[in-house]
Structure 1
Amino acid sequence: MPALTLPAQAPSQLPAHRWKVLAVGVAANAAFSAAAAGLPTTAIFMRAGYQLDNAQLGLALGLLGLGVALFELPWGLLTDRWGDRPVLLTGLGATAAALAWMSVFASPAHGVAPSLWLLALGLVLVGALGGSVNGASGRAVMAWFGEGERGLAMSIRQTAVPLGGGLGALLLPWLAARSGFGAVYGVLALMCGLAALSALCWLREPAHLANAPAERGAAATPLRDTRVWRAAVAIGVMCCPQFAVLTFATVFLHDFSHAGIGTLTGVMVAVQLGAMVARIASGRWTDRHGNRRGYLRGCAWLSFLLFAALGALAWAVSGSASTPAAVISVAVLLAAAGICASAWHGVAYTELATLAGASRAGTALGMANSCVYLGLFLTPLAIPHVAAVASWPMTWVLAGLCMLAALPFLTRPQKQPATERPGPANPGISCAATSETP
């Protein structure tokens, strides 16, 4: 059965309210990403403030991802059953409360570090509750935007991840250094509260989806659809190199190159801002050319080459890693690899949600994000041990190999006659049923 989509309409005929819904999705994802991607940029201060070694630091940074991985799929199922609005309001409100609790009870104060289990509990709670934003906001975008705009809309929504991470990279290390982690968690709680307020004001389900009959067949049961599972696993594996950059790039630059706080912040902000631009551009480009799957394979190969080059460069300068030329070269290549490893998200999530159908997009996105955040748990857990046993250069090469490992799960695009290829003049044609049929 075909996936449920909006009627084939020109963008000018679609409801203008869809842009407010997209703004809610951006705000929700940015607020949670400021915690998920922003907290790792405070790794140096967290290691000192909580008196952790690198293995404990990796565990702490990974626990937030574990919380998301465990509860992302239940949130997706609840989203498809209850709708976007109640799930997003519940999740954001509860996440704000968990962060406020951490600000009071799980923050170092007066030189005294709280127990590791308190930090662990808080991060798992934030992940478990904050994971609600992914499926709910993605389902809302799929419901309000037609096929001809979905790649762009989902990519804009996905820019919220580097946007929130960039804001976190700019603000959180400074807050951690000046005011401590009580202020860090307090600001993150405020951001989640404001995102919940935007959802309360603007988010609702469109009439065509609320009144549509339940889908049947494979499109209605993504948990039984092997195409959806393949896409979800591919997304999860391809995220591991990105998480390697987000969680341990600052530790790598600090310990390997002896880089200062300015360089650390500059690299992380460059990765997040570059990813934002790349995601929007890739979404728009694939909407016009109907080549999502080919684009995803190209990103995987390019990311592998960049991470392999980073490993080779780190090995070559290992004897003089702290010289200005070496620091700049490593920082630039690290930023480029991080941007490329983040550029494809909106395109991949659009393809996944198209396969599942708009009314079941919450479940499909929950499946993918369970894989993604399992990677966020395992990646920082593994990196300290890999770096200790095999060196930092080999760590980055292995990160690149993850991109190649995802290729068997990505469906190869099939070439069709030019007259059958989707273009901007055919907004109602689904990529899942034309030039990229499985």
Structure 2
Amino acid sequence: MYGPNHRWIVLSLGVAAQASFSAMFSGLPVTGITMRADYHLSTAQLGLVLGCLGLGVAISEIAWGLLTDKYGDRRILLTGLISTGTLMALMALVPVRSMAALAACMLAAGALGGSVNGSSGRAVMTWFADGRRGFAMSVRQTAIPVGGALGVALLPWLAGAYGFALVYGVLAGFCLLTAAATWRWLPATEAGAVIRERAGSPLRRWDVWRLALATALLTVPQFAVLSFSSIFLHDVKGEGVALASLIVLIAQLGGGAARVWTGRLSDRGGDRRTWIKGIGVLIAVVMAGAAVLTHAPTPLTVAALALGGLLANAWHGLAYTEIAVMAGPGREGAALGLEGTTLFAAGFLTPVLIPVVLVATSSWTVVWALAALAPLLAVPLAPGSRRRPAVAEARA
């Protein structure tokens, strides 16, 4: 019924699903100044509320991955998009009054929306052969910074001008429109239609865990820049939200372009693990520069944070492709769920721990230095290079 070219429609749906979730996940933190004022939060409370988005994804990702392998990507993707859109619509209609209620809603939004990561990834892996997967998965992962850029450009303005009810309403619209497109054009691919390898669950393999844990460390600078660049520039440099939005936009859009570039290069025979390690070293160097430039003229500090955020966005497609290939056919959902769990656990811990570091040291230099240390530790933790089939064989 569906020809081979339908894979591009499947990829487009995966992009739309990821972008819908990312607009929420990346856009809401940049509303931090307005959120802190409107909900009467302290900086520590704001960090906890924003961290709950990542925590919700982290505690649900493996379960969503296992359910995707069992019931198929279409069912799980629709479930996640519709439930997340419904939650956002309820938040738009029923005002949230307390910090605890807001944190609970963010936790639920992360837990429900996190379903799109494994399910859309499994759909792409099913429709693309290995010689094209690096590019395809990188395009899908590019939807995260692109959707995030949309959220960053739109949500702070909506929050400041019209309030958070409209913010949540717009996010609900993104999710529900994508759900309608998914219902229409994503074919059902049941788990039984894919032959599973006889190898055991990827959740029992140390090399899979090593990659997932290493990439969690690589994402610490990304969440640090995303969650606290606006607070840092406001409190230290006296700047408004516009400059912080510029940092995040550069990091997201530039990182998205870098994902596609590295994914395409990996399809031409490059080793994905070597690329991941090399990018980790670059992130560490640039974030160390940001630490040194904390009290330098603002343009220098902004440039370092933007470049650090860009590099911290560049490796995601490689990591998601590699861990799914390591898992084997029929096991991709579980592996992608593990990857999402560790990444979003870092997404929870990073904004929660940064205020603790600030209270203990009163130093943003220490914050950015720790953001540089995390990717440096990831380099030896990531598994070593492996031989891949020749490009011609892989594409065949």
Instruction: Find out whether 1:256 has 2:236 as its counterpart.
Output: yes
**Post-superposition offset of 1:428:** 4.4
Trace 1:277-426 onto structure 2 (pairs within 5 A): 277-315=257-295, 317=296, 326-390=297-361, 391-413=363-385, 422-426=389-393
Deviation sequence 1:72-91 (CA, Å, 0-9, x none):
11111000000000000011
Aligned identity (percent) is 47
Separation in structure 1 between the aligned mates of residue 194 and residue 241 of structure 2, nearest angstrom:
53
Trace 1:113-124 onto structure 2 (pairs within 5 A): 114-124=97-107
Separation in structure 2 between the aligned mates of residue 206 and residue 129 of structure 1, nearest angstrom:
21
**Post-superposition offset of 1:30:** 0.5
Q: Which amino acid aligns with 2:158?
A: L
Separation in structure 2 between the aligned mates of residue 106 and residue 52 of structure 1, nearest angstrom:
16
Separation in structure 2 between the aligned mates of residue 87 and residue 355 of structure 1, nearest angstrom:
22
2:109 aligned to 126, 145, 151, which one? 126
Separation in structure 2 between the aligned mates of residue 165 and residue 257 of structure 1, nearest angstrom:
24
Kept in 2: contact 1:306–1:336 (CA 8 A): yes
Separation in structure 1 between the aligned mates of residue 47 and residue 194 of structure 2, nearest angstrom:
46
SS of the aligned residue for 1:289 comes to coil
Instruction: Find out whether 1:245 has 2:245 as its counterpart.
Output: no
Separation in structure 1 between the aligned mates of residue 95 and residue 374 of structure 2, nearest angstrom:
34
Q: Given the two structures, how large is their TM-score scaled by the length of structure 2?
A: 0.96
Structure 1 unaligned blocks of 5 or more: 1-13, 108-113, 318-325, 430-438
Kept in 1: contact 2:286–2:304 (CA 8 A): yes
How many aligned residue pairs are there? 393
Q: Which amino acid aligns with 2:119?
A: A
Separation in structure 2 between the aligned mates of residue 159 and residue 213 of structure 1, nearest angstrom:
29
Deviation sequence 1:210-244 (CA, Å, 0-9, x none):
534343223xx112122211111112221111111
Kept in 1: contact 2:196–2:328 (CA 8 A): no
1:216 aligns to what? Answer: 198
Separation in structure 1 between the aligned mates of residue 301 and residue 390 of structure 2, nearest angstrom:
40
**Post-superposition offset of 1:395:** 0.5
Deviation sequence 1:112-145 (CA, Å, 0-9, x none):
xx11111111111101100100000011111100
Deviation sequence 1:244-278 (CA, Å, 0-9, x none):
11111111111111123331222111111111111
Q: Given the two structures, how large is their TM-score scaled by the length of structure 1?
A: 0.87
Trace 1:27-176 onto structure 2 (pairs within 5 A): 27-107=16-96, 114-176=97-159
**Post-superposition offset of 1:408:** 2.8
1:268 aligned to 239, 242, 248, which one? 248
Separation in structure 2 between the aligned mates of residue 359 and residue 204 of structure 1, nearest angstrom:
17
**Post-superposition offset of 1:423:** 4.8
Kept in 1: contact 2:196–2:329 (CA 8 A): no
Kept in 1: contact 2:33–2:241 (CA 8 A): no
